[in-house]
Structure formats: structure tokens, C-alpha cells
């Protein structure tokens, strides 16, 4: 007989809060093994006494049969002292677990099929219970205060389990074994419907019933969900949505819609197989889908005329006006399932916040902050520890691309294989200014925060500081290096200095150029070999020469980084004013093309829209360079072209002009391009002269060519620019990063053309390609350049 030994197996990865220990327990019982399993701050630890043959079988089966949501990053086996165990048990936590806290915190998971069946089964004790969950589903990140993931360290600690729930919780064979948020109608969180004063109007099932009636009446409800409040209204109800837009001061930005089921989504949108899988995944994000309604707009308008209040078959045009896409999701908590089953029509489910503020998470706070937005409040008493917005994804080239990383994805780490082990730095990255996220890097991993928002309101800044503290606390993380954007005016850059000085001795701060951070985020995600050509196109980023960059080409090798190309800079009249009024950009472009407003061809509507004295004033501003910072931004070039084509005046949300231009493109237009000039010379930044592009666009426009044709040609010209520069530089790997590549037509055509020309294009998929990815890129840049 072979000798048995005692082994300790330490498994790191996504192994807590998803039924990993009961899985190990069940497997050990089946294999007749003795020992124990427990959670630790590092992951899961197993101690087991067996022969080497048994060990092989045990490990093979762990890897092959592990729970669906789990992921093993490392599995370490070491010999331990023989004890002579008589049985296999699941051990409780050691009271003091002083190991490093590196276990992976799981994101919140959408309701599983089994829980769903229970809440709709009138015989089940959880029938209609809106907080039903199990080890396969339910809240995680939004309720975790500290590691390890155990009930006392979550916001569920205040609920004492009833006898039945407790039995489930301690039974390793039960689906709810150690399901930390386990609860039922008897012992768990409760639902209440409040009016604006906070008076209780109804509770339990009655609250759901009344809420549904109010939604049908066209009322706006603030509903406390998983990671924060939503503002909810009937998506078919024009009036309700108009009121919501007025109250939120959000005239055009598309609103997300929650549908009762997939079939109803298909009535309004095109859904591919991969999009369907994403909608139904445990992350359950908002997916940007192509509207079908554009195809039968006429029908819609007819029925709209007959009944201005409600259009029974279609969602209101007000949901996403002038937009070819719709942000769509499915119910992901029992509460959402219960509401939508009753309503059986799509509802608006937009973040419960004032414009540019963080999402609201507390019901008392909501009564104050959302009072002028909502008519009623559907709330519960399970505290949300941290705000986690809905994630937004879209499908590009048949692959998922995360645009906003929140619920369902945050805070899963990005693994950095080239993190230097010999010098284990602990790096805090503070991100940029818009769509901010922060990140911490240690142990060859980068943990990125959920989407926080634009850092221009005191509430968001408070949430920003909280997120830094919380993420640091969970992982007992103390930075020895801080990285931030190079822009001196960003709050995040200034906060880096402040944090640095708080420590004695102070922590070093390194500023990373915005577009290099964009490119290195993609390099990190795909673990790319250098050299490569990094292309970063976006709206605004601070450049080395104090101008605003945003159309950048970098040659990046192990030994050097060279800015080899950019767009010919143009002035932003009035600085940030020009971003809100694309006409100012259009005028600046025209001035550079025709040297003077006098020479601009007649009949251009943009010129006609100004009086001669206004034009004179603009001419002086441009000639004398009064508050006209220069930019090479492709995002701004999009704004300018959209304005020249007279498709937008003032914008009300970031990226609006570029989106409007994207929506004009058509796959059926001939593949033609405009002319541009670019020549490569060593050791200088070579500018792409776009003036001929603008001149030819004006000619097409004046010849009354279709806007669709012009927009398509403009997009394809940008693709051609990338192709030609790639061919000149001739490195195989091409990185495409920055907010401009959220444009599906631009990115997909670029990928296709680069592949046809034997290049390997890479773009961010798990990390936002926009400024939400900067924090990860800042850490990745430091790591790569430390080697
Ligand atoms: Zn479940
Ligand atoms: Zn209970
Ligand atoms: Zn950017």
C-alpha cells in the first residue's frame, strides 16, 4: 500500500463566494479523503491526507470540475505535518488570518436560474422574495466591506438568519452553503415603497404591485438595486421620459432600457448570438444594440400620432433620440425580475443621480439627492457598501468590448505577466479626469476600480477618494509609488501630490503622458511584445509640448518611445468652449484651409449662421491667437466635420458630434477616401495634413452629395491614414486605443484593413478603450519601463 502524506493546497484566483469550498468538500467526500478546506485572505486552503496517486486525481478533478464562475490563477502544493484526520470538514475562518489579503473579490452576479424558479414558484418559501440569492448568484462587491468574503464583513451582518436559512447556510450539500447574503422573507432585507417625504406607502408584495401601477401611470421611480439607485419609467411613455430628461437636465444622451425578456429585445433591436450570450451572462451588462425601429420608423410615427402619450408597440423615440443604437439589459436581480414580469414592457433604467454626480446608494440620501428627479422611492434595507454602476459593452469584430467597467466585471483583476517579481512595487494609479477609474497594482495583478465618473463635482470627488480608500483597505494596500496623468489641471494629478505629501517620507509620484497610458493599457491586456506602433486617438490629453494631443502615433520599442506622427494642430477657440460648440472648431478648420474667412466658398450654412461682425470677431481671435490652445485631437476633428455638415450645433454630452457622424455612415457607400498628406522623416513628429480632406468635404457638401457618403468617406480616410502610416513604420503589432475607437465603423474597418495588409491589430476589450482604462495603462507603463 502506498504511503499517505499530509499536503496543504493553496488555491489563488476567483475562488471565494461562488461555492468553491462545498465543491471541494463534495469532491473530497466522493474520493473518501480526510482533512479540511477553508477560505483565507489569499484564496482557498485545503489540507488533505492522501497518497500521491490520490493527490494527482484530486488536483486534476479540481481543475476540471471547478464551479462555473471560478478561475484558478495558481495552485500551490506543499507538505504539511501529519495529523491523522478522521473526516473531511469545512473549517470556519481563523479568527486572526494574518496572511496577505490577495483573494479575489467577486463582482455582483445576476440571478441564477434556480433562484429564479424559486421566486416564481408559489409553493416555494422564497416565492416573490426580491432578495433571493445563492452561492451562484447575488451581491458580492457591492456589499463587501473587508476580506475574507464572509458574512460578518458584509452589509448582511445586521441580518440574523432564521432557522431555515441557517440550516441551508451550514449544510455543505445545499446550494446556499455559506452563501453570505443568504436571506428569506422571514429574516432578510425588506422592500418598501416611499413617497417623496419618506412615508411608507406599501411594503413586501404590495410595494411591487403599487410600484408597477405607478410606472404604468407614467410616474418616475427611484429604485434601489444592486449597486445603487436607478431612475425607472415606462420606456414607451413619451411624457414620462420627457419629464425625466428635463429633471435630469439631460436633453439627448441615450437612456438605458431594461427589457422583460430576450424576445421583447428582439422586437426592437438586432441581436447576434454573441450579443445574446452577453445579455444572458452572469455579468448582465448594458449591451449597445442596433435598433430595428430605425427600419420601421414610419409605422412608429403613425401610431405615435394617434396616441401621443403611449405607443404600445415601440419604445419612445425620446429614449435614444437620433441614435442608431440602444443600450439594453435584462433583469439581473430578483427585484427587477418581479417588477418586469408584472409590467411585461421595457422600462428606462438610468443611473439614479443628478447629471455628472455619482450614483446614489442610500435611501435616506436618495430622498434628498433624488427628490427633484423621482416621484416615488422603491427601497430596501440591505445597505450597499459601494456604488457600482451598470457596465456598458458593445460587440466589435464579433468580440465583446467593455466601454464602462462596473457591475459584473469590477473588481476582477487584470493579470500582468511582466510585473517584476524581484522588485515587488505597490503602485497606486489615479487615472484621468473623465470616466475615471483608479487601480492598484501588486503581486503581478492590477485591480481596477469600478467606473467612478467625471471628476468635476464635489460628490464625485468624494466618491473618488472613498474608492481609493476602500480598494486599498480590502487588500491592505499601501502604495510605495503613485502614478497619475501629466495634465497639471486634473484633480487626479493634484490629488497625487496631496497623497504623496501625506506620507512621511513622501511617496514618489510619476506622471504618465495620457496617450501612452491609453496604449499601454492595451499592451498590458494582450501582454504584447515590443516593438509596436501605438495609435491613440481621443478627445483631449495633455501632451509633452503643452498642447492638447489626441491623434497620436507612437513607435514603441524596448529601448525607446518616439512620437512619429500626429494630426496638424488646429486652434480651439475659447479652449473648452470649443468642445461644447463644435462650430468654433469648424471655423478654425476652415480658416486654416482657406487662410481667411473671406476666401471660404459661399453658401456654407455655418458661415451663414453668423453675422459679419461675429465673423470679424472670430477672425481677430484666430489671427491674434487669443485663448486658442492648439490641438491634434481626432475627436475634435470629428466635431468640426459634424459641424461643417450642419448636423450638430451645440453638444450636450461628450462624444455626441462624433456619434452623430458615425450614425450617418453606410456600408453601402462606395469605398472612397479623401486625400491627405503625410511623409515620414526620422526623429521628428510628422504631421498629417488634413486640409485637403476638409477642402474636399466642403466641395462634396456644396455639390449636395449625400451626408451619408461624406461621413463614410471621412471615416474611410481615417482608416487609410492608419494603414499608410502602419506600412511606413512596418511593425507587425498595431495597438488602437483611445475614445475615438469606440466608433464601431472606424474600429471594425481599421481592424479589417490592417488584417488584410498582414498586420496584427490589437484593441482594448476587457479594459475600457476610453479614459476609463487610463489607470491600468498608467501602471502598465511603469511596469514595462522598469524592466
Ligand atoms: Zn442563485
Ligand atoms: Zn430566513
Ligand atoms: Zn483619453
pLDDT tier at 294 (50, 70, 90 boundaries)?
A: low
Ligand closest to Cα of 133 equals: 1
Across the chain, what does the average pLDDT equal? 92
Rounded CA-CA distance 262/275 in Å is: 11
Distance 459 CA to ligand 1 centre (A): 34
Task: Give the pLDDT score at 686.
Answer: 96
For residue range 389-399, list pLDDT tens digits in order.
999 999 999 99
Residue 95 domain-assigned (yes or no): no
Cβ-based neighbours of 642, under 8 Å, separated by 6 or more: 582, 648, 657, 658, 660, 661
Task: Give the pLDDT score at 296.
Answer: 42
pLDDT at residue 304 greater than cutoff 50: no
Ligand closest to Cα of 175 equals: 1
Instruction: Give the domain CATH number at 481.
Output: 3.30.420.360
Residue 724 domain-assigned (yes or no): yes
Could you tell me if 519 and 500 are in contact, meaning their C-beta atoms sit under 8 angstroms apart? no
- CA dihedral 305→311→313→315, nearest 10 degrees, is 110
Instruction: Give the domain CATH number at 394.
Output: 3.90.870.30
Q: Which three cell numbers stand for residue 622?
A: 484666430
Give me the domain span that covers residue 162.
Answer: 105-405
For residue range 125-163, list pLDDT tens digits in order.
999 999 999 988 999 999 999 888 889 999 999 999 999
- Please tell me which of 115-129, 408-422, 657-671 the model is most confident about, judged by mean pLDDT: 115-129
Distance 203 CA to ligand 2 centre (A): 18
Distance 113 CA to ligand 1 centre (A): 7
Residues 383 and 417 in one domain: no
Q: Which three cell numbers stand for residue 181?
A: 447574503
pLDDT at residue 272 greater than cutoff 60: yes
For residue range 361-371, list pLDDT tens digits in order.
999 999 999 99
Could you tell me if 142 and 189 are in contact, meaning their C-beta atoms sit under 8 angstroms apart? no
Ligand closest to Cα of 436 equals: 3
pLDDT at residue 531 greater than cutoff 70: yes
Q: Which three cell numbers stand for residue 157?
A: 451582518
3-state SS assignment for residue 544: coil
Residues 677 and 593 in one domain: yes
pLDDT tier at 776 (50, 70, 90 boundaries)?
A: very high
Angle between helices 204-216 and 334-343 (to 10 degrees): 50
Distance 377 CA to ligand 2 centre (A): 25
Closest CA relative to residue 573, chosen from 628, 615, 611: 628
Residues 626 and 775 in one domain: yes
Q: Which three cell numbers stand for residue 442?
A: 501588486
Distance 179 CA to ligand 2 centre (A): 12
Distance 138 CA to ligand 1 centre (A): 7
Ligand closest to Cα of 549 equals: 3
Give φ, ψ of 90 to 5 degrees.
Answer: -100, 115
Task: Give the pLDDT score at 105.
Answer: 83
What average pLDDT does the segment 374-392 reach? 97
Residue 100 domain-assigned (yes or no): no
Distance 539 CA to ligand 3 centre (A): 6
Ligand closest to Cα of 159 equals: 2
pLDDT tier at 476 (50, 70, 90 boundaries)?
A: confident
Residue 55 domain-assigned (yes or no): yes
Is the CA virtual torsion 293, 299, 305, 311 positive or negative?
A: negative
Residues 296 and 427 in one domain: no
Residue 99 domain-assigned (yes or no): no
Helix, strand counts (H, E) of the chain: 24, 30
Provide the CA 30 distance to its chain's centre, in angstroms: 42
Residues 707 and 761 in one domain: yes
Least trusted range by pLDDT, from 308-312, 402-406, 518-522, 570-574: 308-312
Residues 221 and 275 in one domain: yes
Q: Which three cell numbers stand for residue 554?
A: 507612437
pLDDT at residue 337 greater than cutoff 90: yes
Q: Buried (b) or exposed (e) across 597-627, using 16+ Cβ within 10 A? A: beebeeebebbeeeeeeebeebeebbeeeee
Beta-ladder partners of 566:
687
Residue 96 domain-assigned (yes or no): no
Among the candidates 452, 484, 512, a domain finishes at 512
Closest CA relative to residue 485, chosen from 534, 549, 532: 549
pLDDT tier at 300 (50, 70, 90 boundaries)?
A: very low
Distance 37 CA to ligand 1 centre (A): 23
DSSP state of 625: T
3-state SS assignment for residue 518: helix
Ligand closest to Cα of 116 equals: 1
Give the per-residue SS3 of 635-646: HHHHHHHHHHCC
Among the candidates 512, 546, 575, a domain finishes at 512
Residues 466 and 549 in one domain: no
Distance 143 CA to ligand 2 centre (A): 18
For residue range 715-771, list pLDDT tens digits in order.
999 999 999 999 999 899 999 999 999 999 999 999 999 999 999 999 999 999 999
Task: Give the pLDDT score at 705.
Answer: 95
Residue 98 domain-assigned (yes or no): no
pLDDT tier at 642 (50, 70, 90 boundaries)?
A: very high
Q: Which three cell numbers stand for residue 686?
A: 510628422
What percent of the chain clears pLDDT 90, i.e. is strictly above it? 80
Could you tell me if 2 and 52 are in contact, meaning their C-beta atoms sit under 8 angstroms apart? yes
Rounded CA-CA distance 20/15 in Å is: 6
Residues 72 and 125 in one domain: no
Distance 432 CA to ligand 3 centre (A): 8
Least trusted range by pLDDT, from 421-425, 676-680, 759-763: 421-425
Rounded CA-CA distance 633/616 in Å is: 26
Task: Give the pLDDT score at 148.
Answer: 80
Ligand closest to Cα of 137 equals: 1
For residue range 487-511, list pLDDT tens digits in order.
999 999 999 999 999 988 899 999 9
Cβ-based neighbours of 545, under 8 Å, separated by 6 or more: none
What average pLDDT does the segment 38-58 reach? 92
Rounded CA-CA distance 426/391 in Å is: 27
The total number of structural domains in the chain stands at 4
Residues 505 and 527 in one domain: no
Distance 127 CA to ligand 1 centre (A): 14
Residues 129 and 274 in one domain: yes
Rounded CA-CA distance 9/11 in Å is: 6
Distance 204 CA to ligand 2 centre (A): 15
pLDDT tier at 302 (50, 70, 90 boundaries)?
A: very low
Residues 748 and 782 in one domain: yes
pLDDT tier at 419 (50, 70, 90 boundaries)?
A: low
Task: Give the pLDDT score at 293.
Answer: 61
Residues 441 and 552 in one domain: no
The verdict on whether omega for the bond into residue 411 sits within 30 degrees of 0, i.e. cis, is yes
Rounded CA-CA distance 150/12 in Å is: 17
Instruction: Give the domain CATH number at 33.
Output: 3.30.70.100
Rounded CA-CA distance 69/65 in Å is: 11
Task: Give the pLDDT score at 474.
Answer: 86
Burial tier of 46 (Cβ tally within 10 Å: 0-12, 13-18, 19+): buried
Distance 121 CA to ligand 3 centre (A): 49
Instruction: Give the domain CATH number at 637.
Output: 3.30.420.40
For residue range 68-109, list pLDDT tens digits in order.
778 888 899 999 999 999 999 988 765 445 445 667 788 999
Residue 227 domain-assigned (yes or no): yes
What average pLDDT does the segment 380-395 reach? 96
Distance 187 CA to ligand 2 centre (A): 4
Distance 260 CA to ligand 1 centre (A): 19
Ligand closest to Cα of 179 equals: 1
What average pLDDT does the segment 568-596 reach? 95
Distance 267 CA to ligand 3 centre (A): 36
Task: Give the pLDDT score at 146.
Answer: 86
Residue carrying the nine cell digits 525607446: 560
pLDDT tier at 13 (50, 70, 90 boundaries)?
A: confident
For residue range 155-196, list pLDDT tens digits in order.
999 999 999 999 999 998 899 988 999 999 999 999 999 999
- Name the more confident of 303 and 278: 278
Rounded CA-CA distance 112/115 in Å is: 6
Task: Give the pLDDT score at 307.
Answer: 44
Residue 290 neighbours by CB distance under 10 Å: 16
Could you tell me if 177 and 169 are in contact, meaning their C-beta atoms sit under 8 angstroms apart? yes
Among the candidates 464, 484, 512, a domain finishes at 512
What average pLDDT does the segment 256-270 reach? 96
Distance 739 CA to ligand 3 centre (A): 6
Distance 778 CA to ligand 3 centre (A): 12
Distance 768 CA to ligand 3 centre (A): 10
The verdict on whether omega for the bond into residue 694 sits within 30 degrees of 0, i.e. cis, is no
Task: Give the pLDDT score at 404.
Answer: 96
Distance 596 CA to ligand 2 centre (A): 76
Amino acid at each position: 500500500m502506498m504511503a499517505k502524506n499530509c499536503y496543504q493546497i493553496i488555491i489563488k484566483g476567483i475562488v471565494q463566494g461562488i461555492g468553491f469550498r462545498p465543491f471541494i468538500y463534495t469532491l473530497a467526500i466522493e474520493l473518501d479523503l480526510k482533512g479540511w478546506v477553508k477560505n483565507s485572505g489569499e484564496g482557498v486552503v485545503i489540507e488533505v491526507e492522501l497518497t500521491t496517486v490520490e493527490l494527482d486525481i484530486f488536483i486534476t478533478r479540481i481543475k476540471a470540475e471547478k464551479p462555473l464562475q471560478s478561475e484558478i490563477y495558481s495552485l500551490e502544493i506543499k507538505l504539511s505535518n501529519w495529523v491523522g484526520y478522521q473526516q473531511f470538514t469545512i473549517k470556519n475562518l481563523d479568527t486572526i488570518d494574518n496572511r496577505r489579503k490577495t483573494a479575489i473579490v467577486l463582482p455582483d452576479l445576476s440571478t441564477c436560474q434556480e433562484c429564479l424558479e424559486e421566486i416564481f414558484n408559489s409553493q416555494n418559501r422564497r416565492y416573490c422574495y426580491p432578495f433571493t440569492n445563492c452561492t451562484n448568484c447575488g451581491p458580492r462587491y457591492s456589499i463587501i466591506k473587508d476580506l475574507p468574503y464572509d458574512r460578518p464583513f458584509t452589509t448582511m451582518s445586521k441580518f440574523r438568519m432564521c432557522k431555515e436559512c441557517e440550516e441551508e447556510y451550514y449544510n455543505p450539500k445545499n446550494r446556499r452553503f455559506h452563501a453570505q447574503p443568504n436571506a428569506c422573507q422571514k429574516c432578510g432585507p425588506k422592500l418598501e415603497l416611499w413617497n417623496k417625504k419618506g412615508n411608507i406607502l406599501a411594503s413586501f408584495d404590495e410595494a411591487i404591485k403599487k410600484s408597477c401601477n405607478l410606472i404604468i401611470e407614467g410616474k418616475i421611480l427611484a429604485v434601489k438595486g444592486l449597486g445603487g439607485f436607478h431612475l425607472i419609467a415606462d420606456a414607451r411613455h413619451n411624457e414620462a421620459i420627457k419629464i425625466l430628461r428635463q429633471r435630469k437636465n439631460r436633453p439627448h444622451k441615450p437612456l438605458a432600457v431594461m427589457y422583460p425578456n430576450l424576445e421583447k429585445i428582439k422586437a426592437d433591436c438586432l441581436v447576434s448570438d454573441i450579443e445574446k450570450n452577453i445579455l444572458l451572462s452572469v455579468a448582465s451588462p448594458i449591451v449597445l444594440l442596433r435598433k430595428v425601429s430605425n427600419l420601421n420608423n414610419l409605422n412608429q410615427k403613425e401610431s405615435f400620432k394617434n396616441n401621443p402619450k403611449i405607443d404600445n408597440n415601440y419604445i419612445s423615440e425620446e429614449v435614444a433620440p437620433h441614435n442608431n443604437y440602444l443600450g439594453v439589459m435584462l433583469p439581473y436581480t430578483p427585484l427587477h425580475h418581479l417588477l418586469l414580469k408584472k409590467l411585461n414592457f421595457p422600462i428606462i433604467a438610468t443611473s439614479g443621480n443628478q447629471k455628472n454626480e455619482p450614483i446614489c446608494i442610500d435611501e435616506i440620501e436618495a430622498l434628498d439627492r433624488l427628490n427633484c428627479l423621482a416621484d416615488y422611492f422603491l427601497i430596501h434595507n440591505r445597505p450597499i457598501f459601494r456604488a457600482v454602476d451598470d457596465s456598458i459593452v458593445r460587440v466589435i469584430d464579433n468580440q465583446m468590448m467593455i466601454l464602462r467597467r462596473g457591475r459584473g466585471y469590477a473588481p476582477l483583476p487584470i493579470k500582468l505577466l511582466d510585473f517584476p517579481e524581484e522588485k515587488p512595487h505597490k503602485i497606486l494609479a489615479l487615472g484621468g479626469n473623465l470616466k475615471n477609474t483608479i487601480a492598484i497594482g501588486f503581486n503581478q495583478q492590477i485591480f481596477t476600480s469600478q467606473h467612478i465618473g467625471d471628476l468635476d463635482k464635489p460628490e464625485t470627488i468624494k466618491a473618488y477618494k472613498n474608492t481609493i480608500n476602500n480598494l486599498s483597505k480590502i487588500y491592505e494596500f499601501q502604495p510605495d509609488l503613485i502614478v497619475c496623468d501629466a495634465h497639471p489641471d486634473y484633480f487626479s494629478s493634484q490629488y497625487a501630490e496631496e497623497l504623496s505629501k501625506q506620507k512621511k517620507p513622501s511617496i514618489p509620484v510619476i506622471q504618465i503622458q495620457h496617450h501612452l497610458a491609453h496604449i499601454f493599457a492595451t499592451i498590458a491586456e494582450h501582454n504584447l511584445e515590443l516593438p509596436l506602433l501605438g495609435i491613440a486617438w481621443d478627445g483631449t490629453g495633455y501632451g509633452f509640448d503643452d498642447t492638447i494631443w489626441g491623434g497620436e502615433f507612437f513607435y514603441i520599442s524596448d529601448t525607446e518611445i518616439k512620437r512619429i506622427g500626429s494630426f496638424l494642430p488646429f486652434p480651439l477657440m475659447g479652449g473648452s468652449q470649443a468642445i461644447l460648440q463644435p462650430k468654433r472648431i469648424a471655423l478654425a478648420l476652415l480658416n486654416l484651409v482657406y487662410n481667411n474667412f473671406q476666401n471660404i466658398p459661399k453658401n456654407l450654412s455655418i458661415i451663414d449662421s453668423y453675422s459679419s461682425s461675429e465673423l470679424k470677431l472670430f477672425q481677430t481671435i484666430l489671427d491674434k491667437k487669443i485663448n486658442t490652445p492648439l490641438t491634434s485631437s481626432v475627436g475634435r476633428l470629428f466635431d468640426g466635420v459634424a459641424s461643417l455638415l450642419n448636423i450638430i450645433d451645440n453638444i450636450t454630452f461628450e462624444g455626441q458630434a462624433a456619434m452623430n457622424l458615425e450614425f450617418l455612415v453606410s456600408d453601402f457607400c462606395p469605398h472612397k477616401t479623401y486625400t491627405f498628406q503625410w511623409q515620414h522623416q526620422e526623429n521628428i513628429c510628422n504631421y498629417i495634413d488634413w486640409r485637403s480632406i476638409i477642402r474636399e468635404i466642403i466641395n462634396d457638401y456644396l455639390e449636395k452629395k449625400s451626408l451619408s457618403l461624406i461621413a463614410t468617406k471621412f471615416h474611410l480616410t481615417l482608416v487609410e491614414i492608419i494603414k499608410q502610416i502602419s506600412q511606413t513604420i512596418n511593425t507587425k503589432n498595431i495597438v488602437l486605443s483611445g475614445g475615438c475607437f469606440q466608433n464601431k465603423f472606424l474600429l471594425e474597418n481599421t481592424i479589417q484593413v490592417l488584417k488584410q495588409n498582414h498586420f496584427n491589430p490589437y484593441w482594448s476589450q476587457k479594459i475600457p478603450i476610453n479614459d476609463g482604462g487610463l489607470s491600468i495603462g498608467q501602471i502598465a507603463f511603469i511596469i514595462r519601463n522598469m524592466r
